[in-house]
Amino acid sequence: MGKPYVIGIDIGGTNTLFGIVDARGNILYDGSIKTWDYPDIESYVFALAEGLAGLIQQTGGEGLVRGIGVGAPMGNFLSGCIENAVNLPWKGVIPLAQLIRESTYNIPVAVTNDANAAAIGEMAYGAARGMKDFIVITLGTGVGSGIVIGGNLVYGHNGFAGELGHVIMRRENGRMCGCGRPGCLEAYTSATGVARSARELLSSRADDSLLRDMDIENITSKDVYEAAMKGDRLSLEIFESTGEILGEAFADFIVFSTPEAIILCGGLAKAGDLLLNPIQRSLDKHGLSMFAGKTKLLLSQLEESNAAILGASALGWEAKG
Amino acid sequence: MGKPYVIGIDIGGTNTLFGIVDARGNILYDGSIKTWDYPDIESYVFALAEGLAGLIQQTGGEGLVRGIGVGAPMGNFLSGCIENAVNLPWKGVIPLAQLIRESTYNIPVAVTNDANAAAIGEMAYGAARGMKDFIVITLGTGVGSGIVIGGNLVYGHNGFAGELGHVIMRRENGRMCGCGRPGCLEAYTSATGVARSARELLSSRADDSLLRDMDIENITSKDVYEAAMKGDRLSLEIFESTGEILGEAFADFIVFSTPEAIILCGGLAKAGDLLLNPIQRSLDKHGLSMFAGKTKLLLSQLEESNAAILGASALGWEAKG
C-alpha cells in the first residue's frame, strides 16, 4: 500500500484549482479548469472529475485517496451544498458534495466556504499549527472569516456561521456593502474597500499624492500599497484608517471568543506591517483591558498560490463516508 | 447507594447562594451567606464550607455529591480562579476551586462566571434543552453572556471569552461604560443603562411622562417597565431604543456564530414582549438576509430565584477530579 492522500478543490469565481496533497501538506499534482466555462453544474462536475481522474491515476489510484475537500463561495459544510452563490454560474442550491462523490469513485467529499477552508489550512500547515482557538480573516475582494474554537470550525446552526465581513462597523452614514446593508467591515477593509477609500480621499481632498498620476477609477489596493511603500502620505493614511477599523472589529471579536491569534490572509494581507501596525495600535486603543495582549496578530504562513488547495485538502481528511 | 447530587454555588456581589441539586434539576436543600461579611477569603470559604457541610449531611453524606459548580464574577473555568473581580471583597487572583475543594471533602470543583453558569443552566434545565448552539444574554446590573457552540461553552484562549456586554455599539459620542470605554452594549441595555436612558430623556425633553412623578435620580428599569405597561410614551420609547440596540448587536452575534437561539435572562428580561418585540423588529431590519429567521429569540425558562444555583450546579457534573 502507498501513502494516503487527499484532494483539495478550490472553486473560485474565475478558476477552479485542484490538487492531490499528502499528509505533510505537499501538493503532488495539480490542475485547474475555468469555472465559467461550464454554465450547467453537470458539465462542470464532469470536467472536474475528468481532471481529478488523471491526477488520481498518476498518484497510484483511487484506493489511496482518503477524502476530497472543497472550498467554494457559500459552501455549506452541514448540507454539502453550494447555496445561492452570486459569483458562480449555477443558481440555487447545488448538492455539490453528492455530485462530486458520484462522479469520483465514491470518495467521501466535504464542502465548506473558502474562508473556512483557509482556516483549516492554517491549522494543518500554517500559522495556526498547534492552536485550538483562532480566527482567520481573509482580506480579498470581500472580507471572509473562518473561526476555530476548541479545535473545531464554527459552522453555526445553519452551516454558514463566521461571516465576520458583515459585522457593522459604521452605524451612521456607513458605506453601502454588497450585502445591501450600510457600514459592514467588508465595505471598508476588503481590497475593494481600500481602493474605494483611495477614490473617496482623492476626490474629496486636494493634497498631492502619487495616486493622482493614475486612472482614478481603476486604482487597486496594490497601487495604494505601492504608493504607501514609497512614503505617499495619502496612501499611508488609507492603511492607517483601514487598520483602525480592523482593530475596532478585532476588539469585538476578542470579547466574543478570545482567540489565541487572529490570522490575516488574502491579497491585502501582503501589505504586512503596513497593515498589522495600525491594527495593533487600534486594538491597543479600543480593546477591553482584561484582554490586552491575549491575542496575537499574525500573517498567513501558507504560500498564496498553494493556500486554497491546501486549505480545501485539509478538510478532505474529515470527509465522512 | 442513594442517587447522585451536585452542589451549585452562586457568588453575587451581595449574597452567596448555594444548594444541593439532583440530576433532574430539583433543588433539595439550599442556604446562603452574605458575601461581604467575609473580607478575607479564608473566613469566607470556612463559612461557605460550614453551610455546605450541613446540607451535605442532610442529603446523605458527601459520597453522593459528584461535583461542585461555582458561578462568580470573573470566575475563570480554565484556572479555577476568581481574577480581579471589582464587586467582590477579595482582591487579585483567588484560587477558589482549590480552596473550596480543600475544605469540602475533596469534592471536585469547577468555577465559571455567572453568565456562563446561566447558559449551562438553560442547556440543562431551561430554554436551551436539546440545543447545541445558543447564546444566553443576561440583562442585569451589567450585560453578560454565555456562548455555547457545538454543545460546549466558549471559554476562549484565556478562560474569559463571551463578554458580549462589551461589544461597541456606538462609536461616535458613545456612553461611557464601567469598563472605561465609550459605547459598549452594556452602557445602553443593562437594567442600569435603561434607567440611564430614562434620566437622559427626562432631562433633555419636556414631554409628559409618568416617570416625572418619581425621584429622577432613583428611577430603575422596573419603574420604566411599569410606566411602559401603563402606556407611557416616553417609557415605551426607551424599550424601543433599547431593543433596537440589542437587535443591532444580535445581528452581529449571528454573523459570528449563527446560534439556534438567543436567550434573554436577568431582571430586564422580565419585560418580556415589551423588549422582545423591538429586538425582533431591529433584527429584521439590521440582520444579514442570509440569516433571516435562523435564530430564535427566547426568554429564560428558569425561575429567577433558582436560576443561579441551578446554573452553577449543572457545571458541577463537569467538575473533574
CB contact under 8 A, B252 and A168: yes
Nearest C-alpha of chain B: how many angstroms from A289?
A: 8
As a whole number of angstroms, the distance between CA B139 and CA B299 comes to 11
**The three three-digit cell numbers of residue B235, written as one number:** 417609557
Counts for chain B of helices (H) and strands (E), in that order: 9, 13
Residue type, A261: A
Distance from CA of A158 to the nearest CA of B (A): 7
| Cα dihedral B130/B134/B137/B138 (nearest 10) | 30
- What pLDDT shows up at residue B13? 86
Task: State pLDDT tens for residues B264-306.
Answer: 999 999 999 999 999 999 999 999 999 999 999 999 999 888 8
State pLDDT tens for residues A101-125.
999 999 999 999 999 999 999 999 9
CB–CB contact A179 B150 (8 Å): no
Q: Report the percentage of chain B scoring pLDDT > 70.
A: 99
Instruction: Give the B-side interface with A, CB within 8 Å.
Output: 84, 133, 147, 149-150, 152, 154-158, 160-164, 166-172, 179-181, 248, 251-253, 255-260, 286, 288-291, 294-295
Interface A-B: count of C-beta contacts within 8 A = 126
Which residue in the set B133, B162, B180 is minimally distant from A289, CB to CB?
Answer: B180
Q: pLDDT digit string (tens) for A194-226?
A: 999 999 999 999 999 999 999 999 999 999 999
What SS3 class is residue B17? strand
Nearest CA in chain A to B289: A179
What's the gap in Å between the CA of A261 and the closest CA on chain B? 9
pLDDT confidence of residue A284: 97
* Contacts A168 to B, Cβ<8 Å: 248, 251-252, 286
Question: Which set of grid coordinates corresponds to residue B272?
Answer: 418580556
Q: What confidence tens digit (pLDDT) does each residue in B86-109 have? A: 889 999 999 999 999 999 999 999
Question: Kind and range of the H or E element at B246?
Answer: helix B233-257
Q: Which residues of B touch A92 (CB under 8 A)?
A: none
* DSSP state, residue A182: B
Q: What is the pLDDT of residues B208-236, one digit of tens each?
A: 999 999 999 999 999 999 999 999 999 99
DSSP per residue over A95-128, as a string? -HHHHHHHHTTT--EEEE-HHHHHHHHHHHHSTT
Interface of A with B (CB under 8 A): 84, 133, 147, 149-150, 152, 154-158, 160-164, 166-172, 179-181, 248, 251-253, 255-260, 286, 288-291, 294-295
Chain A neighbors of B161, CB-CB under 8 A: 255-258
pLDDT in tens, A174-195: 999 999 999 999 999 999 999 9
Q: Is the CB of B164 less than 8 angstroms away from the CB of A257?
A: no
Using 50, 70 and 90 to split pLDDT, how confident is the model at B72?
A: very high
pTM of the model: 0.94
Hey, which bits of chain B come out as E strands?
Answer: 5-11, 15-22, 27-34, 65-71, 75-76, 81-83, 93-94, 109-112, 134-139, 143-149, 152-153, 261-265, 296-299
Q: Cell digits for A63?
A: 484506493
Residues of A in contact with B84 (CB under 8 A): 290
Lowest mean pLDDT segment, chosen from A128-137, B54-63, B101-110: B54-63
Residue B1 has pLDDT above 80, yes or no: no
- Coil vs helix vs strand at B182: strand
Take residue A32 and report the three cell numbers written for it. 485547474
Give the closest of B155, B179, B258 to A161, CB-based: B258
DSSP character at residue B318: T
| Residues of chain A found within 8 Å of residue B157, distances taken between Cβ atoms | 133, 258-260, 294-295
Q: CA separation (Å) from A78 to A123, A151, B78, B202, B210?
A: 20, 17, 30, 50, 52
In the Cβ-directed half-sphere of A132, how many Cα atoms lie within 13 Å? 8
Comparing alpha-carbon positions, the chain A residue that sits nearest to B254 is A161
